[in-house]
């Protein structure tokens, strides 16, 4: 727990400064008044990730990467000290808020130090992070283990802050740090207790709190799913709040563009969030209407800078730009993943998402897989799915009743598109839980906004309804969270964070290099390196060492 807190301090320092620069550049005409500390630090996480990805193209992401990052942040912070000082003074929390913040930080550090370690983290997350730490990126790594080509930007970010060279343990505290930042923003929904005026974005915040409580005992793992879902909630809430405060003012386009860049970033964390990029339409339309074509070009280049290292890493790891997708199939390096392996991996992902453990399930029709999938859902998950169906009707009604509320409708449509994309691709509940939770709450917030200007009785009803919902949430999730905390209180992770799992492995020699495989199951954890669940027939090294890459050929 102490290690998590110390790492968080370093992360905060090295994300706030680059985030401050990004927000300042994007909103230089609008100012920084909308963006709070958590908003700026999340933008900084995006910037550090892109930096780490570019760094990984040339070297392992280790102590040198961290030193250069720290030097830059200290230098930039010194040059911007007056602006940063003025911002921090203006956004300094009051005593009650500060006390609540300290409690939240300690609670999240507790959860980020221990808990359920995700199965995939010992299957390939840990190995992905270690490859990035050791070598940055390796050609054809997918030929050793196909899941090492899943290339989530979250793994690079985890490597940037793993501190493995300094401590001997590869830490994974970024997921919980992101949960803390998003949680701070979500807790702002409690303003309704004071001003008794709930807004649509407050419902999105309550949904966010629900999700964070759901992953409290899992965020110790560096799983990309949590990064995607948390960022998605942040984008949706931020856009709704910005509209509520500023409306569709053209001069606020730069502020909206910040969230558009974050949406592009989310896709590099996991392709399943591809529909999130629809929010780009908001600033694009505003800039286009003002004929600010150079500004559009500038943000297009910014989006390219975010996406480019992700695509380059994909190509180097698998020979494909968007693995496991075969599209676009334009490059043919010697290390390119075999078409059959790529197609089989894609089919398995889809089949597993539908509730089966075979690739054949990818082709099952809806009537065959849906009953199995539905039977595997929990009670609350079924309720959220049903609420999502009902909420679609609410969306269509609101399109007629609030015709001028274009920005909220784009946000709501983006959430619905994310639900649909998840459901028709790989509907494993873990991949899309945030979408299912978010959409009904966002549409409930839309109902609040529809009759916003009605008489006082309706205003009181809005407040009482939100207060009741918040109270039920605190009662239901608060009890569950308390039980989780008490259940884990005896675990010995108050100084150092829970480590990856340890497994028995056997050594295999490929072209004079030892590669480990598990004696049982398919997990190897972090320590056995390099490792894979199995060794593909025809696996060869491209050079003298693993850093040169892997290919599958019979003629080498």
Per-residue pLDDT of the chain (556 residues; tens, 9 = 90+): 999 999 999 999 999 999 999 988 876 655 667 788 999 999 999 999 999 999 999 999 999 999 999 999 999 999 999 999 988 888 888 778 888 899 999 999 999 999 988 889 999 999 999 999 999 999 999 999 999 999 999 999 999 999 999 999 999 999 999 999 999 999 988 877 777 777 888 889 999 999 999 999 999 999 999 999 999 999 999 999 999 886 656 567 888 999 999 999 999 999 889 999 999 999 998 888 888 889 899 999 999 999 999 999 999 999 988 887 777 778 888 999 887 888 888 888 899 889 888 888 888 999 999 999 999 999 989 999 999 999 999 898 888 888 778 899 999 999 999 999 999 988 999 888 999 999 999 998 888 777 665 555 566 666 777 777 777 777 777 888 888 888 889 889 999 999 999 999 999 999 889 999 999 989 999 999 999 999 988 889 998 889 999 998 764 4
Question: Do the beta carbons of residue 149 and residue 127 sit within 8 Å?
Answer: no
The answer to whether residue 468 sits within a structural domain is: no
d(CA 492, CA 502): 17
pLDDT at residue 456, as a whole number: 53
Q: Are strands 505-510 and 513-518 parallel, antiparallel or unpaired?
A: antiparallel
pLDDT at residue 556, as a whole number: 45
d(CA 188, CA 357): 42
- 305 Cβ contact list (under 8 Å, min separation 6): 50
d(CA 346, CA 5): 38
The answer to whether residue 372 sits within a structural domain is: no
The answer to whether residue 175 sits within a structural domain is: yes
* 158-162 long-range contacts, CB within 8 A, separation 24+: 158/129, 158/222, 159/52, 159/56, 159/61, 159/62, 159/129, 159/132, 159/133, 160/48, 160/49, 160/51, 160/52, 160/61, 160/65, 160/66, 160/69, 161/7, 161/10, 161/11, 161/66, 162/129, 162/133
Using the 3D structure, point to which of 337, 366, 392 is the last residue of a domain: 337
Q: Which domain holds residue 529?
A: 505-543
The answer to whether residue 432 sits within a structural domain is: no
Q: Total structural domains in the chain?
A: 2
DSSP E strands, 5-116? none
The answer to whether residue 47 sits within a structural domain is: yes
CB neighbours of residue 198 within 10 Å: 24
The answer to whether residue 207 sits within a structural domain is: yes
Burial bucket for residue 486 (CB in 10 Å: 0-12, 13-18, 19+):
exposed
Using the 3D structure, point to which of 281, 307, 337 is the last residue of a domain: 337
Q: Which two tokens stand for residue 195?
A: 């001003």
Instruction: Please report the sign of the dihedral spanned by the C-alpha atoms of residue 64, residue 130, residue 530, residue 167.
Output: positive
The answer to whether residue 136 sits within a structural domain is: yes
The answer to whether residue 37 sits within a structural domain is: yes
| Residue in 316, 354, 359 with CA at minimum distance from that of residue 542 | 316
pLDDT at residue 228, as a whole number: 95
Concatenate the DSSP letters of all residues of 466-514 into one string: HHHHHHHHHHHHHHHHHHHHHHTTTSS-SSSPPPPP---EEEEEETTEE
Using the 3D structure, point to which of 337, 353, 378 is the last residue of a domain: 337
- Residue indicated by tokens 């619905």: 416
| Residue in 8, 477, 432 with CA at minimum distance from that of residue 233 | 432
- 458 Cβ contact list (under 8 Å, min separation 6): 451
């Amino acid at each position: 727990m102490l290690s998590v807190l110390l790492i968080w301090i370093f992360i905060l320092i090295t994300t706030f400064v680059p985030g401050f620069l990004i927000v300042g550049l994007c909103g230089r005409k609008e100012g920084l008044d909308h963006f709070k500390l958590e908003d700026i630090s999340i933008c900084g996480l995006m910037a550090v990730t892109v930096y780490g990805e570019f760094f990984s193209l040339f070297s392992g992401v280790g102590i040198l990467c961290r030193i250069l990052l720290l030097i830059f942040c200290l230098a930039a912070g010194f040059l911007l000290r007056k602006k940063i000082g003025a911002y921090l003074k203006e956004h300094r929390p009051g005593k009650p808020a500060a006390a609540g913040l300290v409690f939240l930080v300690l609670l999240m550090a507790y959860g980020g130090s221990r808990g359920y370690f995700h199965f995939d983290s010992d299957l390939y997350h840990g190995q992905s992070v270690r490859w990035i730490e050791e070598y940055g990126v390796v050609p054809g790594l997918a030929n050793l283990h196909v899941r090492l080509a899943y290339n989530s930007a979250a793994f690079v970010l985890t490597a940037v802050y793993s501190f493995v060279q300094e401590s001997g343990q590869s830490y994974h505290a970024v997921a919980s740090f992101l949960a803390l930042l998003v949680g701070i923003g979500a807790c702002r929904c409690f303003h309704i207790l004071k001003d008794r005026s709930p807004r649509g974005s407050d419902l999105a915040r309550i949904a966010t709190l629900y999700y964070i409580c759901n992953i409290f005992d899992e965020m110790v793992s560096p799983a990309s799913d949590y990064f995607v879902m948390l960022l998605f909630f942040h984008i949706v809430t931020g856009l709704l709040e910005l509209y509520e405060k500023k409306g569709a003012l053209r001069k606020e386009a730069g502020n909206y563009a910040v969230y558009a860049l974050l949406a592009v970033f989310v896709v590099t964390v996991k392709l399943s969030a591809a529909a999130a990029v629809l929010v780009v339409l908001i600033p694009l339309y505003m800039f286009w209407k003002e004929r600010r074509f150079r500004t559009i070009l500038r943000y297009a280049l910014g989006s390219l800078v975010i996406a480019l290292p992700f695509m380059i890493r994909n190509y180097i790891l698998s020979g494909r730009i968007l693995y496991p997708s075969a599209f676009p199939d334009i490059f043919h390096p010697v290390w390119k993943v075999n078409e059959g392996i790529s197609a089989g991996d894609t089919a398995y992902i889809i089949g597993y998402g539908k509730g089966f453990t075979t690739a054949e399930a990818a082709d099952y029709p809806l009537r065959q897989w849906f009953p199995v999938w539905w039977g595997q859902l929990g009670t609350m998950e079924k309720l959220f799915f049903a609420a999502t169906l009902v909420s679609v009707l609410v969306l269509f009604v609101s399109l007629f009743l609030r015709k001028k509320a274009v920005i909220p409708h784009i946000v709501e449509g983006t959430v619905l598109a994310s639900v649909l994309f998840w459901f028709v691709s790989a509907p494993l509940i873990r991949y899309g839980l945030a979408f299912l939770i978010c959409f009904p709450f966002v549409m409930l917030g839309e109902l609040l906004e529809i009759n916003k200007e009605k008489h006082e009785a309706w205003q009181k009803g809005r407040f009482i309804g939100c207060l009741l919902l918040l109270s039920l949430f605190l009662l239901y999730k608060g009890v569950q969270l308390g039980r989780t905390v008490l259940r884990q209180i005896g675990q010995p992770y108050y100084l150092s964070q829970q480590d990856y799992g340890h497994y028995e492995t056997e050594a295999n020699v490929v072209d004079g290099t030892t590669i480990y495989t598990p004696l049982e199951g398919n997990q190897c954890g972090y320590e056995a390196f390099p490792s894979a669940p199995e060794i593909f027939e025809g696996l060869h090294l491209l050079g003298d060492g693993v850093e040169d890459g892997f290919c599958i050929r019979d003629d080498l």
